[in-house]
Amino acid sequence: MVGKTESQNGAVKATAAPAMNLESDLFSNFSFKSFKLKTKQQELLLRVSILGLVYILAFITRLFSVLRYESMIHEFDPYFNYRTTLFLTEKGFYEFWNWFDSESWYPLGRIIGGTLYPGLMVTAAFIYWTLRFLRFAVHIREVCVLTAPFFASNTTVVAYFFGKEIWDSGAGLVAAAFIAICPGYISRSVAGSYDNEGVAIFALLLTFYLFVKAVNTGSLAWALASAFGYFYMVSAWGGYVFIINLIPLYVLVLLITGRYSMRLYVAYNCMYVLGMLLAMQIRFVGFQHVQSGEHMAAMGVFFLMQVFYFLDWVKYMLSDTKLFQAFLRITVTSAIAVGALALGVGTASGYISPWTGRFYSLLDPTYAKDNIPIIASVSEHQPTAWSSFMFDFHILLFLFPAGLYFCFKKLSDATIFIVMYGLTSMYFAGVMVRLILVATPAVCLISAIAVSATIKNLTSLLRTKSKTAVAGSSKGTGGSKASSKASFDQSQPFQKNGAIALLLGAFYLLSKYATHCTWVTSEAYSSPSIVLAARGAHGNRVIFDDYREAYFWLRQNTPPDAKVMSWWDYGYQITAMGNRTVIVDNNTWNNTHIATVGRAMSSYEDEAYEIMRSLDVDYVLVVFGGVTGYSSDDINKFLWMVRIGGGVFPVIKEPDYLVNGDYRVDKGAAPKMLNCLMYKLSYYRFGELVTEYGKPPG
């Protein structure tokens, strides 16, 4: 019941927010005589209250999962984050920083402090300590569960300021309302999805906003702030590579289109140098900023900026233009040549590492499929079909081209930035489903520009009409827009009707958007995937809590030093909930180790036994959904185990497990398939007892 009222609020408020925004103009114009407040103050009040409502809306719409299930951590990676946060709050920062975890990647172990982005854990721990300091006795789990919604709310505020910076405050408000309920963002920030992205999108947008602000003002303070925003982003998510490539690209475009200015020089240099130095403090990133190929673009643009500055200075000193032209040519060519030479020498000598597979697969999307099965196997790395775009953006997709058009009509440094951000992230979103998340803020902002500009035009048109009808004067108050100017002939009634029709259409679309978002949040994005819900035969909800039961079974019934082998998906959960040592987990840093597990799973039982003895395995955990009809079980993932195993050990061949190119698990399956460890474990005594099945065999 509670869930229903919540969602009801969400839908109504979402539609109300853009509506109120334009009413703010109307309101302030009509009633400034009857109120004591000045127009400016009224507008401010309205703006702040709308923003406050949006802030709350963004938070509560993400609480569906808590209402539907319970306050718990979702999915796979968040369990690792939760485990490390717990460690951080219990043992303190230095212990956390130097933590060597022997419970995962047995027998190798993992240096946690050096292989993770600590931003999320430190943020959550900081919130926890603050609440504790204020004498709120909360459990760390609650803090972890609610971190993502809290940061989503903060993102709406940043979106408002960003929208205000690139267009006007109306666009900012609409953008805040859009991003508060946009499914593309909600998918990664519902309560309980305690993952890096929840914090990172906030940091990403903040960095971009501060940088654009710095470029617009040319102030060192904003550039400094943006460097710190970048530092936070680097500490939170590997996606910072997007920032460190987009900003140089943006600067490069500005240079090419002849928009070089002192403001740009100050903003970029400060942000790059300080941001780089700060980012090096994160151990996982280390010296990558000067050593890896992914960061070289930023450095190249940094040097190019110096060349530009130098040229500017020489131009100022030289009066002869001919001489300068010659000088220009020589300097630019030699600068480019020196840069290319340095890059070549660096790469050849191994000082600059080449691009990583993930990065490369973004530029050449077919790369991953052919070469790195471990990247291609993850479901969120699949390419995006149009329906996913529709599902995550809904009407924003329709508004996006219009917003692009508006941006090009009013080209400035800021709009160029947002256009570039939108287009690059759109392209990446097309390559990988998960990158829709990165595109979401840009899409929201650009669509907000379209909505805000359109509605502003229309309402000003309407208002002019009503004014002229009442006062009989042809001088509209706010009619500075071109749309209202061209229409002062006999066509007034029609103009008005047209505007009303367009407005109604716009509101219809916006309300559809709100409905869609609420529905998607409630039905699709709020399931924790560790507890499954299904509709029973009579329409009642059936909850399958088998995962957690299995992990607790491990915890209660196995010796504390037992080693559990499972496919890597379940590694984090077994360590976090089962408290047992695992062979591989979701941090897929060692492909060979994973391939060994894949090989064991796809070998005959006697061969698999040998492999498992060599790894000291005591228990094997397989997930089988044949009884409950759960589709993403290990049998479904099995082909990827074969592929990844076969990628390292050529003994394993995919065609051996297929019948005429088809994957089947019934009687007609390939003999190798029927006799491999995974199949034997999954269908162990399947025919005999069906009701009591579910425990992993040892």
Partner 1 sequence: MAISPKMNHLILYFAAIMTLLVSLSTSDSNSDLVSELLNLQSQSEAGVIHLNDQLVSRFLTSTKTPRSYSILIFFDAHQLHNKPELHLQELRNEFSLVASSFIANNVDNPSSRGKLFFCYLEFKESQSSFALFAVNSLPHIRLVGPDAKSLKDDSVQMEQGDFARMAESMADFVQSRTKLTVGPIQRPPLLSKKQIGLIVVVILIWIPFMAKKIFAGETLLHDRKIWLLGSVFVYFFSVSGAMHNIIRKMPMFLADRNDPNKLVFFYQGSGMQLGAEGFAVGFLYTIVGLLLALMTHGLVRVKSVSIQRWVMIVSLLISFWAVNKVIYLDNWKTGYGVHGFWPSSWN
Q: How many residues bind partner 1 (CB under 8 A)?
A: 77
Q: Which residue, 85 or 518, is less far from partner 1 as judged by CB?
A: 518
CB of 535 to partner 1, least distance (A): 14
Q: Which residue, 450 or 620, is less far from partner 1 as judged by CB?
A: 450
Q: Which residue, 346 or 365, is less far from partner 1 as judged by CB?
A: 365
Applying CB under 8 A, among 365, 625, 626, 694 the residue interacting with partner 1 is 365
Q: Which residue, 292 or 447, is less far from partner 1 as judged by CB?
A: 447
CB of 326 to partner 1, least distance (A): 11
The mark string for 445-464 relative to partner 1 (x by CB under 8 A, - otherwise) is: -----x--xx--x-------
CB of 304 to partner 1, least distance (A): 15
Q: Which residue, 120 or 175, is less far from partner 1 as judged by CB?
A: 175
SS3 for 175? Answer: helix
Q: Which residue, 98 or 474, is less far from partner 1 as judged by CB?
A: 474
CB 214 within 8 A of CB 223: yes
Give DSSP secondary structure letters for 206-257: HHHHHHHHHHHH--HHHHHHHHHHHHHHHHH-TTHHHHHHHHHHHHHHHHHT
CB of 461 to partner 1, least distance (A): 9
The amino acid occupying position 484 is S
Q: For residue 384, state whether it binds partner 1 (rule: CB under 8 A).
A: yes
Q: Which residue, 234 or 450, is less far from partner 1 as judged by CB?
A: 450
The mark string for 390-409 relative to partner 1 (x by CB under 8 A, - otherwise) is: xx---x-xxxxxxxxxx-xx
CB of 660 to partner 1, least distance (A): 5
Site for partner 1 in 168-227 (CB under 8 A): none
Query: Which of 438, 380, 431, 432 minimizes the C-alpha distance to 77?
Result: 380
Instruction: Please choose, out of 104-112, 162-170, 384-392, 590-598, the segment that lies near partner 1 by the rule CB under 8 A.
Output: 384-392
Site for partner 1 in 147-166 (CB under 8 A): none
CB 277 within 8 A of CB 326: no
Applying CB under 8 A, among 312, 380, 523, 545 the residue interacting with partner 1 is 523
Q: Which residue, 208 or 222, is less far from partner 1 as judged by CB?
A: 208
C-alpha angle 683-661-639 in degrees, rounded to nearest 5: 45
Long-range contacts of 513-517 (CB under 8 A, 24+ apart): 513/14, 513/178, 513/181, 513/394, 513/395, 513/396, 514/10, 514/11, 514/12, 514/14, 514/15, 514/181, 515/11, 516/183, 516/394, 516/395, 517/10, 517/14, 517/61, 517/181, 517/182, 517/183, 517/186, 517/394
CB of 429 to partner 1, least distance (A): 6
Instruction: Please choose, out of 172-180, 365-373, 615-623, 676-684, the segment that lies near partner 1 by the rule CB under 8 A.
Output: 365-373
Q: In what order do the strands lie in the sheet with 581-582?
A: 581-582, 563-566, 619-621
Angle between helices 39-60 and 2-30 (to 10 degrees): 170
Q: Which residue, 131 or 420, is less far from partner 1 as judged by CB?
A: 420
Q: How many helices (H) and strands (E) does the chain have?
A: 32, 7
Give DSSP secondary structure letters for 290-316: HHBGGGHHHHHHHHHHHHHHHHHHHHH
Q: Which residue, 243 or 404, is less far from partner 1 as judged by CB?
A: 404
User: Which DSSP letter does residue 575 get?
Assistant: I
Radius of gyration in angstroms for the set of CA atoms belonging to the chain, rounded to a whole number: 29
Query: Which of 314, 368, 298 minimizes the C-alpha distance to 644?
Result: 368
Applying CB under 8 A, among 98, 334, 366, 557 the residue interacting with partner 1 is 366
Instruction: Please choose, out of 122-130, 364-372, 559-567, 591-599, the segment that lies near partner 1 by the rule CB under 8 A.
Output: 364-372
Query: Which of 242, 120, 86 minimizes the C-alpha distance to 189?
Result: 120
CB of 6 to partner 1, least distance (A): 9
Cis peptide before 107 (omega within 30 of 0): yes
- Looking from the CA of 622 toward its CB, the CA atoms found within 13 Å total 26
Instruction: Please choose, out of 19-27, 230-238, 284-292, 415-423, the segment that lies near partner 1 by the rule CB under 8 A.
Output: 415-423
CB of 357 to partner 1, least distance (A): 15
Cα(364)–Cα(382) distance, integer angstroms: 14
Applying CB under 8 A, among 44, 278, 307, 423 the residue interacting with partner 1 is 423
- Looking from the CA of 119 toward its CB, the CA atoms found within 13 Å total 31
Q: Which residue, 189 or 452, is less far from partner 1 as judged by CB?
A: 452
Structure tokens at 684: 């162990």
SS3 for 451? Answer: helix
**Strand (E) or helix (H) holding 77:** helix 77-91
CB of 393 to partner 1, least distance (A): 8
Site for partner 1 in 243-272 (CB under 8 A): 256-258
CB of 239 to partner 1, least distance (A): 18
**Length in residues, the chain:** 698
Instruction: Please choose, out of 18-26, 74-82, 262-270, 522-530, the segment that lies near partner 1 by the rule CB under 8 A.
Output: 522-530
The amino acid occupying position 540 is N
Q: Which residue, 313 or 405, is less far from partner 1 as judged by CB?
A: 405
Query: Which of 65, 44, 64, 46 minimizes the C-alpha distance to 54?
Result: 46
Site for partner 1 in 9-38 (CB under 8 A): 11
Site for partner 1 in 586-645 (CB under 8 A): none
Applying CB under 8 A, among 319, 349, 387, 540 the residue interacting with partner 1 is 387
Query: CA quadruple 570, 575, 580, 584: dihedral positive or negative?
Result: positive
The mark string for 486-515 relative to partner 1 (x by CB under 8 A, - otherwise) is: xx-xxx--x---x--xx--x---x--x--x
Residues 102-135 as b or e (16 or more Cβ within 10 Å = b): ebbbbeeebebbeebbbbbbbbbbebbeeeeeee
CB of 101 to partner 1, least distance (A): 35
Q: Which residue, 5 or 130, is less far from partner 1 as judged by CB?
A: 5
Applying CB under 8 A, among 660, 666, 687, 689 the residue interacting with partner 1 is 660
Site for partner 1 in 70-129 (CB under 8 A): none
Site for partner 1 in 309-338 (CB under 8 A): 325
Applying CB under 8 A, among 149, 430, 479, 645 the residue interacting with partner 1 is 430
Q: Which residue, 290 or 397, is less far from partner 1 as judged by CB?
A: 397
Q: Which residue, 264 or 520, is less far from partner 1 as judged by CB?
A: 520
Query: Which of 359, 364, 164 minimizes the C-alpha distance to 244?
Result: 359
CB 394 within 8 A of CB 513: yes
Residues 215-251 as b or e (16 or more Cβ within 10 Å = b): bbeebeebbbbbbbbbbbbbbbbebbbbbbbbbbebb
Q: Which residue, 489 or 692, is less far from partner 1 as judged by CB?
A: 489
Applying CB under 8 A, among 299, 419, 503, 635 the residue interacting with partner 1 is 419
